[in-house]
């Protein structure tokens, strides 16, 4: 079920990305859309992606304030059903990101990174947890752009964790393809911050498509070709 | 190394890619009304790498189906000729070249490339192909994107003639896909891929194909009307499409796999003639003026 939601959410994100290509200013959409790459990797919060897509599409202030609350509520509901802590951490993280887009306050980014740190501690991967614990300071020290990149890289890291035996990522389909997708998407985001060109946008969408393909892949890792 | 490259090139389905390149280049020439050789070269390289990369990714995702189907079981991936990393690197290099060139042309061309990628991989292959015969709707959108991209490169925008040029490819696809599936029925049934021509009786899908071909004729004349040229092409293309309709109606009366295969083989020229002939006609008219 989570996988289906993630794929649907990713598909919506991609469609929105395509639509935003026709609009004049890509920047605000890009920040949120880029974060999708990380968040789909982190997976369990997938259900909230269409809500944030809606938030970006409508850019209404009232909706902007309402959406993070809805996202947290949905995350809490999933947590209750699944008896796992990650959905709450991730929904808070995602809401922080949404708030940053609407308010521009770096503290909301810190909130996102803090939630990722909590998740990292929960998954007991100590080196990653250490990095993640330190990361909430990033928005205050290094500025928003570096922080967003850190957030996305942390998302990629979670995907990496998901490909090893770990409870963090429930998607065990074609995790190598998903990983290639994440790396490509992250490269697109890095390219965007170096020079906000159309190429970076294209690279990111290629990454997202591959990531979704990995998640929704009909064939598991074991069926991958071996030369 | 060269052998590996050859295997990878097989994943790009060169003949199908070539047909889509014809639609892209044709649409560009119709829009531009004059030949900018550098732009045309850029477009062809972009088209080949982007379409080839998407097709290879598609092949990777469908390798389990290809292994089951007799027609496709000898492809490089089911036979284990390429490793995962080799396939992925090839796909990424091709896509990177494609989107890099597209982004240097204009955002509408990039839109067409990314929409083609997205509708083909996510919409068609991942979300619908294995579950519903309606997958052809999304697959056809993907197939029509090269024509839209070609138009956007020549016109600098997405406008009605470009949408009609894409619409011609869209309306053509059932003719191409459904009759191939009918001819290779055992393969498709064994692989469990739902295709309309196997899920409905032959009369129903024949009527659907004829309806699509009728739309194709309307779109062809629509192009001619909106650009104010190409009457000869529209007339000759319509004759081709009418011949295809006649073949489908014959199939409606006496269905057979042999006839389905004949129709499938007739499909590609029916499409190609629009995109090959219209630019030539426009160029000749301009020369005569």
Report ipTM (2 d.p.): 0.82
Whether the CA torsion A98, A101, A105, A110 is positive or negative: it is positive
Chain A residues within an 8 Å CB radius of B113: 202
| Average pLDDT score over chain A | 57
What is the average pLDDT score of chain B? 90
B126 contacts: CB under 8 Å, gap ≥ 6: A7, A212, A213, A216, A217, A218, B61
The answer for B 93-122 residues in CB contact with A (under 8 A) is 95-96, 99-100, 102-103, 107-108, 110-111, 113-115, 117-118, 121-122
Cβ of B122 and A10 within 8 Å?
Answer: yes
Condensed to tens digits (0 to 9), the pLDDT of residues B147-162 reads 999 999 999 988 899 9
Confidence of residue B239 (pLDDT cuts 50, 70, 90): very high
Whether residue A164 is predicted with pLDDT greater than 50 in this model: the reply is no
B114 and A21 within 8 Å at the Cβ level: the answer is yes
- Separation between Cα atoms, residue A58 and residue A60, nearest integer Å: 5
B96, pLDDT greater than 80? yes
The model's confidence at residue A60, banded by pLDDT at 50, 70 and 90, is very low
Does the pLDDT value for residue A15 go beyond 70?
no
What is the total residue count of chain B? 289
pTM, full prediction: 0.74
Q: Alpha-carbon Rg of chain A, whole angstroms?
A: 16
The predicted pLDDT at position B95 comes to 94
- Tell me the pLDDT tens digit for each residue of A107-116: 666 666 666 6
Beta carbons of B27 and B147 less than 8 angstroms apart? yes
| End-to-end CA gap in chain B | 53
Cα separation, B283 vs B47, in Å, equals 23
Which of B61, B81, B126 shows the shortest C-beta gap to A7? Answer: B126
Give A219's contacts in chain B (Cβ within 8 Å).
61, 63-64
CA B257 – CA B68 distance, rounded (Å): 20
pLDDT at residue A46 tops 50: no
DSSP state of A168: S
Contact A63, A190 (CB under 8 A): no
**What pLDDT does residue A48 have?**
46
A198/B107 touch (CB, cutoff 8 Å), yes or no: yes
DSSP assigned state of A167: S
Residue B84: partners with Cβ closer than 8 Å, 6 or more residues away: A176, A224, A225, A226
pLDDT at residue B32, rounded to an integer: 92
């Amino acid at each position: 079920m989570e996988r289906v939601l993630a794929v649907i959410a990713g598909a919506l994100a991609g469609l929105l990305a395509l639509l935003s290509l026709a609009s004049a200013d890509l920047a605000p959409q890009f920040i949120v859309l880029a974060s999708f790459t990380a968040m789909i990797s982190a997976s369990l919060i997938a259900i909230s992606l269409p809500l944030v897509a809606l938030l970006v599409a409508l850019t209404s202030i009232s909706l902007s304030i309402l959406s993070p609350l809805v996202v947290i509520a949905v995350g809490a509901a999933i947590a209750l059903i699944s008896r796992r802590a990650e959905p709450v951490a991730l929904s808070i993280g995602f809401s922080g990101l949404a708030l940053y887009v609407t308010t521009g306050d770096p503290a909301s980014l810190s909130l996102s990174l803090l939630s990722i740190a909590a998740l990292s501690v929960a998954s007991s991967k100590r080196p990653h947890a250490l990095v993640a614990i330190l990361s909430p300071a990033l928005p205050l020290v290094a500025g928003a752009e570096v922080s967003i990149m850190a957030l996305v890289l942390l998302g990629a890291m979670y995907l990496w964790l998901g490909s090893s035996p770990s409870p963090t990522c429930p998607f065990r389909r074609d995790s190598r393809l998903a990983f290639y997708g994440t790396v490509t998407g992250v490269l697109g985001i890095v390219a965007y911050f170096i020079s906000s060109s159309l190429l970076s946008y294209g690279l990111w969408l290629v990454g997202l498509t591959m990531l979704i393909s990995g998640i929704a892949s009909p064939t598991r890792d074991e069926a991958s070709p071996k030369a | 190394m060269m052998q590996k490259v050859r295997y990878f090139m097989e994943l790009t389905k060169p003949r199908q890619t070539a047909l889509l390149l014809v639609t892209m280049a044709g649409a560009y020439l119709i829009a531009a009304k004059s030949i900018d050789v550098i732009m045309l070269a850029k477009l062809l390289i972009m088209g080949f790498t982007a379409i080839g990369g998407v097709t290879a990714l598609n092949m990777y995702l469908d390798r389990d189906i290809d292994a089951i189907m007799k027609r496709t079981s000898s492809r490089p991936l089911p036979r284990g000729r390429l490793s995962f990393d080799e396939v992925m690197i090839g796909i990424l290099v091709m896509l990177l070249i494609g989107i890099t060139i597209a982004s240097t042309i204009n955002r509408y061309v990039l839109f067409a490339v990314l929409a083609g990628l997205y509708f083909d991989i996510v919409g068609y292959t991942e979300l619908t192909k294995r579950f519903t015969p309606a997958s052809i709707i999304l697959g056809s959108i993907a197939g029509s994107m090269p024509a839209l991209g070609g138009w956007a490169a020549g016109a600098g925008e997405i406008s009605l003639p470009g949408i009609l040029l894409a619409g011609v490819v869209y309306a053509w696809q059932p003719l191409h896909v459904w009759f191939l599936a009918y001819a290779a029925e055992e393969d498709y049934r064994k692989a469990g891929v739902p295709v309309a021509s196997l899920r409905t009786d032959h009369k129903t899908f024949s009527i659907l194909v004829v309806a699509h071909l009728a739309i194709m004729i309307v779109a062809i004349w629509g192009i001619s009307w909106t650009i104010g040229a190409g009457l000869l092409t529209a007339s000759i293309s319509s004759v081709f499409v009418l011949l295809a309709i006649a073949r489908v109606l014959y199939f409606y009366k006496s269905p057979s796999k042999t006839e389905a295969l004949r129709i499938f083989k007739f499909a590609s020229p029916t499409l190609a003639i629009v995109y090959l002939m219209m630019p030539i006609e426009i160029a000749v008219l301009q020369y005569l003026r």
